[in-house]
Structure 1
Amino acid sequence: MFSMKHKNAAILAALSVLVTACGGGSDDKAGSAAPLSANQQAFENLILAPNTGSYFLHWNLSASATQTSGVNYAYSDSSVLSSSPANGPQISTQSAPVNITSTLALVAPTPARVLKNGAILVAPATASSSKVSYVGNDIRVDSLAADNTTVVFSEIRSNYETVALTGAISTTPADFAHFHNVIFSNTAILNTAATYAAGSSYVKFTQTNAGDRYNAFDCTTATTGAAVTPCRTSTTLAAVLTTGISSTSDGVTYHLTDGSVSTVGGVSVWVATAPRPVSATLSSTVQYRIYFELNGNVYTGALIKDGTVLGGSSYVSNPAGTTVAERITFLPFDIRMNKAAHGSLVAAMKI
């Protein structure tokens, strides 16, 4: 018979033989990273160095031939990751804006403002940073405040598809052309006889909101910081909504009974029951009008609920339509392009 001490030793010896036989004692594969999913591989093929980066266009252009400098604009920004998020969360910083026109001035865009944890946080519109990590098969992107630490809002990116761009710009795939709408539809903007450079491609993907996002809007005067302009001062949420408050963009006068009040991060927030009309949001993103009471004032904004698929862009699909919903198709996906594709479009710009 074995004593307990010797019995344990015998069992450990047997286990050692089994583990060694299975290769478990080898250090050759210790600490190896899990293989990337197809989504993550497509993401890295675009943005991870030595690849040349992920490029995104921003524009406000007229559908007619005439553009007005100071009002209309088109610029791009880009980012490159030096290390894979498979090694842990990485900080991605967007480049400064690059004007892709020769006739229009750069216009400072409005940053995103979000009510979170009892305060209004600001995600910069230019030279912004985000924290990128892998979650399951997908990519999580946390947009950061100017301190590069505070998370303002988050998205999950999935359903990646990489598409080559070849030949004449006039033969551009519909998704890419529709996403960039007027850049392609207004013949005065782009030379569609130009061709794409070798290696040009783009990625198409889905963005899903992660966590309820309470966007904060200016009610009157436009601002760019955390001090958004209130709708009413020195009053309460209950008083304003009992009387009723009109939203010009939504075309609705909201009353207390049109939604419900809850406490979010210590702040009283009223959320409308019905979504905002697409004529107001101009997006496929489902949003709900909110009013909230903060420091004795009442402010407005919109809630994007957790799990909502975020709209990427839109295009005029039926010019004869009499309503926004009839005229415009809203796209439920986003697009980024590589440096070769970006350079091809910039070279083809006619404005």
Structure 2
Amino acid sequence: MLAAVSVFVAACGGGGEDTASVRVKSASSDAPVIATQPANASVLTGGTATFTVSATGTGLGYQWKKNGVAIPSATSEAYTTPAVSYVDHGALYTVEVSSTAGSVTSTAAQLTLALSANQQAFESTILAPAAGSHFLHWNLPYAGTPTSGTHYAYSDFAVIPASPLTNGPQLSAQSAPSNIASTLALLTPGPTRVLKNGAILVVPAPNVSNKVSYVGSDVRVDTIASDNVTVAYAEIRSNYETVALTGTLAATPDDVARFHNSFFSNPAILDTTRSYAAGAGYLKFTQTNSGDRYNAFDCTTATTGAAVTPCRTGTTLNNVLTTGISSTSDGVTYRLADGVVGTVGGVSVWVANNPRPRSATLSSTVQYRIYFQLNGNVYTGALIKDGTVLGGSYYVSNPNGATVNDRLTFLPFDIRLNKAAHDSLVAAMKI
């Protein structure tokens, strides 16, 4: 007979967890979370923009990027750009926030350059497809009939193809002169000559070329020498006003009438019963010299090139001024002690201590007589210092005044006409 066999099945286990009690681990609570995203920014040319982010988490680090490229040292909650220019318009800024538990990237904030009120006014007449910013040039008598060959009146205008705000500096060439006086010959003033970097530069007249850019809320205009490359001098334009012209020319605002003095003072020039065309208007603005500007003048025979005529040949500045040199236009004999000798661009230049008389400059622009030594000769000219407000015109405020200063009032602003205003004046010309 067989014996009974008992089989015992034992459950054994180590110290393992029951599968029913396994917990699923979640992401760490220390991973960064962005609470406030960077905001878009709009600034003027030359300004700065600050982008900020707010995030939660432990041990956070930051890395700002411009258009996807990491910005060196931009590793905090806020980032301030350097001074911005047209190349920065539309740039996208993001920040990556990281910790040991992970990282997250913000949404993109866009940088936009903004036009100031000055720049908007400037573009209103000169930016294509606008018909241009028009300027009148004239030598006309205060009263009586103008004489051809002595008197003249012409205009020119400028247009820029694109906004400097987002396209960078724009070249603006003045148009060819247009004679607006049918009874007078077309005469144009001579060029401007400037002493710069040891040489005399020529700025042609007419057809001046300017390079226009934006600086903060203002407009910068660099005037280009005849080589079409070198900046001869520069100015900043600000304080723009845009003014409409309506009604008859007889009701022209004082700013325009006085700026264009003889056109409105002499009844032989304009028919002031004519009316301004629809849309006529003008811009009034202030021009400020940017950088010291050393104009060079002919001392004797008039020339038009870089070879201005000297006051003395084969001598030195010290010798000439020790003896004294007379300026007939200023009505002054200048001597060494009346000014200071310095070096400008490698050239020895004497600058008078006192400004030239307004009777000589016929402008509110403050100028200082200069004499300079170049290639063994002594030449003359005038210094317009950096920051000087440039005069635009003058009018006869007191015809019976005993002196020029008594008779004239000098205007510290400039004016440009839009095409409708320009054409209205031209249509009313009686000469």
Shorter-chain TM-score bucket reads: over 0.9
Q: Does 1:233 align with 2:310?
A: no
Partner of 1:43, secondary structure, is: helix
Who is 2:140 aligned against? 61
Letter in 2 for 1:223: T
Deviation of 1:18 (Å): 4.9
Letter in 2 for 1:166: T
- Runs of 5+ in structure 2 lacking a partner? 1-27, 40-52, 54-92, 95-105
Letter in 1 for 2:140: L
What's the TM-score once normalised by structure 1's chain length? 0.93
RMSD over equivalenced CA pairs, Å: 1.8
The answer to whether the 8 A contact 1:244-1:253 is kept is: yes
Deviations 1:181-219 (A, max 9, x none): 001100000000000000000000000000000000000
Q: Does 1:71 align with 2:183?
A: no
Deviation of 1:62 (Å): 1.5
Who is 1:242 aligned against? 322
- Aligned residue pairs, count: 340
Question: Which structure 2 residues correspond to residues 4-19 of structure 1 after superposition, within 5 A?
Answer: 13-14=32-33, 18-19=36-37
Who is 2:128 aligned against? 49
Deviation of 1:30 (Å): 3.6
Deviation of 1:319 (Å): 0.9
Partner of 1:240, secondary structure, is: helix
Who is 1:176 aligned against? 256
Runs of 4+ in 1 over 6 A off after TM superposition: 20-23
Letter in 2 for 1:156: I
Partner of 1:207, secondary structure, is: strand
Q: Compare CA radii of gyration and give the structure with the larger one.
A: 2
The answer to whether the 8 A contact 2:136-2:156 is kept is: yes
The answer to whether the 8 A contact 1:77-1:97 is kept is: yes
Q: Partners of 1:140 and 1:334 in 2: how far apart?
A: 15
Who is 2:242 aligned against? 162
Who is 2:415 aligned against? 335
Q: Partners of 1:194 and 1:274 in 2: how far apart?
A: 46
Deviations 1:114-157 (A, max 9, x none): 10000001111111111101001100000001232210000000
The change in CA–CA distance for 1:245 and 1:52 in structure 2 (over 3 A counts) is same
Q: Partners of 2:229 and 2:372 in 1: how far apart?
A: 26
Q: Partners of 1:173 and 1:207 in 2: how far apart?
A: 21
Q: Does 1:80 align with 2:153?
A: no
Q: Partners of 1:209 and 1:96 in 2: how far apart?
A: 25
Letter in 2 for 1:167: G
Who is 2:360 aligned against? 280
What's the TM-score once normalised by structure 2's chain length? 0.76
Deviation of 1:227 (Å): 0.6
Percent of aligned positions that are identical: 71
Who is 2:396 aligned against? 316
The change in CA–CA distance for 1:349 and 1:286 in structure 2 (over 3 A counts) is same
Structure whose residues are more often strand by fraction:
2
Deviation of 1:49 (Å): 1.3
Partner of 1:122, secondary structure, is: strand
Who is 1:201 aligned against? 281
Deviation of 1:309 (Å): 0.3
Q: 1:90 aligns with which of 146, 149, 170?
A: 170
The answer to whether the 8 A contact 1:61-1:67 is kept is: yes
Deviations 1:88-111 (A, max 9, x none): 111111100000011111113111
Deviation of 1:36 (Å): 0.8
Q: Partners of 1:223 and 1:344 in 2: how far apart?
A: 36
Q: Partners of 2:334 and 2:227 in 1: how far apart?
A: 36
Deviation of 1:70 (Å): 1.5
Letter in 2 for 1:321: G
Q: Partners of 2:305 and 2:164 in 1: how far apart?
A: 31
Structure whose residues are more often helix by fraction:
1
- Runs of 5+ in structure 1 lacking a partner? 1-6
Deviation of 1:14 (Å): 3.6
Letter in 2 for 1:200: A
Q: Which has the higher contact order (CA 8 A, sep 6+)?
A: 1
Deviation of 1:231 (Å): 0.3
Q: Partners of 2:395 and 2:192 in 1: how far apart?
A: 23
Q: 2:195 aligns with which of 106, 115, 118?
A: 115
Deviations 1:229-287 (A, max 9, x none): 00000100000000000000111100000001000000000000010001111110000
The change in CA–CA distance for 1:188 and 1:19 in structure 2 (over 3 A counts) is same
Letter in 1 for 2:217: N
The answer to whether the 8 A contact 1:130-1:148 is kept is: no
Deviation of 1:31 (Å): 5.2
